[in-house]
Structure 1
Amino acid sequence: MSYILVLYYSRYGSVKQMAQHVARGIESMNIETKIRTVPPVSPTTEASEPAVPDSGAPYVTIDDLKNCAGLALGSPTRFGNMAAPLKYFIDQTSSLWVGNNLVNKPATVFSSTASLHGGQETTLISMMLPLFHLGFILLGVPYSENELNTTHTGGTPYGTTHVAGPNSKNPISEDEQHLCYAQGKRLAEITLRMIKN
């Protein structure tokens, strides 16, 4: 059965909440959603995380990515880039690149930052670059979503964003929730069209 993979890394919970709103949008189109995360990275060379997380979403596998019909990718900002744990996973996907396993599958990206000018758009672009190399077709958030024009918190045409605040305590605004939902729904709509063709 076809599914859309919602893959994220979240240290303080904001990106996890965004992923859940994106997944709701996907599921509104009656397509299965798999929500997955990645383990934190460690400076040691030995495995420091269990194979299965104690709580929350399961860790992603290469097969989860290989077999998805579409992808929603989320990360907090780290100096204008995606977080290292997510990049570490993506760097292990060379076999999917060589095998052209992800060519012409739709994808979208979303992010959270501590401040309004904390690198939201560059983080989204940093997530897009490897997806282009893997052959994905990237989808953003169109300005037909009115909340993109009215939000005072987060949101860009490149993908939904959230301003978590310096202590990561800001709740996801109604505008951000709507944009996450709309982004997931759009991804599902395009994925379903591509599956039918």
Structure 2
Amino acid sequence: MTKVLVLYYSAFGHVERLAQAVATGAREAGAAVVVKRVPELVPEAVAHRKGYRLDQPAEVATVEELADYDAIVIGTPTRFGNMAAQMKNFLDQAGGLWARDALVGRLGSAFTSTGSQHGGQETTLVSIHTVLLHLGMVVAGLPYSFKGQLRMDEVTGGSPYGASTLADDGQGGDRQPSENELAGARFQGRYVATLARALAAARMTEAA
């Protein structure tokens, strides 16, 4: 069975919700899915004061286990048009995997959250793609066959680079992922699992 890791960082829960939707889509496509998060770097006292979600049920991942999966879908909020420091710190520790080509030929994908409609979603997703490509992974986005990203009747995330959500209602208030944004994440999960299964079969054939 194809093994998919949904690896995320989420301070306030928006990316966490997308991660669960991605996982649901991948399971619908028949994959065995694990959802894990990267370690928090913010001091606990500061995180409490800022209202971070510190009780997330997902286990904390290790870098070495990345090689155990056929596909890795990475989710992180945007920080000035780039991935959050927590995710970058985690991925920066993958030098050993890179050195032994442990992730070459595996599938990689990404999703994100921003505080505003034009807050750097696409550059954040591409920044993750860059890391995946350096690790030798095959990159999948969110194709336009998901028609929800073409909607013009409501504010919505989503781009060909990956699923996304907007975390601010424009007035400084909390906005949770919309059904359209969650549908995009589920679509991406199914898409990734389907492609990963084909890639895994090709690797097995080549090894034989």
TM-score, structure 2 normalization: 0.86
Residue number in structure 1 paired with 2:108: 107
Question: What are the residue-to-residue correspondences of 1:151-190 with 2, within 5 Å?
Answer: 152-165=155-168, 167=172, 169-190=174-195
SS in 1 for 2:188: helix
Ranges in structure 2 where 5+ consecutive residues have no aligned partner: 44-53, 203-208
Instruction: Report deviation, 1:156.
Output: 0.4
Question: What are the residue-to-residue correspondences of 1:47-196 with 2, within 5 Å?
Answer: 55-150=56-151, 152-165=155-168, 167=172, 169-196=174-201
In the alignment, the residues of structure 2 paired with residue 187 and residue 171 of structure 1 have an alpha-carbon distance, to the nearest angstrom, of 24
Q: Contact (CA 8 Å) 1:12, 1:168: kept in 2 or not?
A: no
Structure 1 range deviating more: 175-184 or 147-156: 147-156
Q: 1:168 to 1:161 in 2, by over 3 A?
A: farther
Q: 1:118 to 1:54 in 2, by over 3 A?
A: closer
Q: Does 1:32 align with 2:36?
A: no
1:36-86 deviations in whole A, cap 9, x for unaligned?
Answer: 10111148xxxxxxxxx8541100112321111101000000011100010
Ranges in structure 1 where 5+ consecutive residues have no aligned partner: 44-52
Residue number in structure 2 paired with 1:46: none
SS in 1 for 2:78: strand
In the alignment, the residues of structure 1 paired with residue 189 and residue 124 of structure 2 have an alpha-carbon distance, to the nearest angstrom, of 19
Divergent runs of 4+, >4 A = none
Aligned pair count? 188
Structure 1 range deviating more: 139-148 or 34-43: 34-43
Higher helix share: 2
SS in 1 for 2:162: coil
Cα RMSD after superposing both structures: 1.6
